[in-house]
Amino acid sequence: MNTSDAPTSAFRRPGALCALLLALIFSAGSPGGAQGAGPDLLVFAAASLKTVLDDVNAHWQANAGKRAVISYASSAALAKQIEQGAPADIFISADEDWMDYLAERKLIRPETRSDLVGNRLVLIAPKGADLHVDIIPGFPLPSLVGHGRLAMANTDAVPAGKYGRAALESLGVWDSVKDRIAQAENVRAALLLVSRGEAPLGIVYKSDAVSEPAVVTVGSFPESTHPRIIYPVAVVAGSTKPDAAAAFIDLLRSPEARSIFEKQGFTILE
């Protein structure tokens, strides 16, 4: 029951917590755990990590006999849920701000925090679009959007949306499109709008574009136009499974996981 799966999540979903609770209920009685037991770990992860973490989780189950329930949503929504007492073991944010938010409230174990991977910001269009965009200061984004809207994650709170807004402001085109944004709950919801042809263009991470065959990348944003995209990971302070959490984080840094991250368009941080 991942929070980024439902098509309606872009605008109408009230939040990820209900989906998370349902996931926990169903997982308690589902096969795959030791003798039908519940999951070994509960991971809260940015929606853009879904493809990679699903693969890593399957690898963990196949090779170690352990499994995690992973709740995907915007970093903002997940951080707020942790603040409200949601029983997560690991938090993986798509930016440093929301990890800092939890750190300031002593809701993560600071000694476990580290930077996991990086990402790039790209402009996408539905598959088949015959378009290449040179993303430079003042590029004609309004005319490229036409009568449609530009799909983005929420530009006030969600990391992908904040990065995208920063890039458009740096390039001097934000004011010309700010009233024509289709704001989505998270970056995967923005990706969905473009993949279904409901928006002619969207701003997402490179990894999202790689994961969705129904879109094409038509331009890449210079990294100098926005803050560096970094995904920090940490064990949540209230976790009752710190050993399992540490083992899962070690797996995320393994050669096998690094290969999955790179294949999906993420940047390995040295």
Nearest residue to 87 via CA among 34, 189, 176, 17: 17
CA distance 32 to 62: 10
150: which 2 tokens?
């530009």
Q: Give bridge partners of residue 68 from the DSSP assignment.
A: 41
3-state secondary structure 210-237: HHCCCEEEEEECCHHHCCCCEEEEEEEC
Residue 116 CA to residue 20 CA, distance in Å, equals: 24
Q: How far apart are CA 54 and CA 68, in angstroms?
A: 9
Residue 45 pLDDT more than 50?
yes
| Chain mean position to CA 270 | 21
Range scoring the smallest mean pLDDT among 14-18, 65-69, 76-80, 127-131: 14-18
Q: Largest Cα–Cα distance in the chain?
A: 60
Cα angle: 248, vertex 211, 216; to 5 degrees: 155
Q: Residue range 23-51: average pLDDT?
A: 66
Annotated binding site for molybdate: 48, 75, 160, 187, 205
Note the pLDDT tens digit of each residue in 215-245.
999 999 999 999 999 999 999 999 999 999 9
pLDDT digits (tens, 9 = 90+) for 136-161: 999 999 999 999 999 999 999 999 99
Higher pLDDT pick, 30 / 210: 210
Binding region: 48, 75, 160, 187, 205
Segment 33-40 shows an average pLDDT of 58
- The phi, psi pair for 253, rounded to 5°, reads -100, 5
Map out the domains of the chain with their CATH numbers.
7-118+231-268 (3.40.190.10), 121-225 (3.40.190.10)
The whole-model pTM stands at 0.84
| pLDDT top residue among 122 and 17 | 122
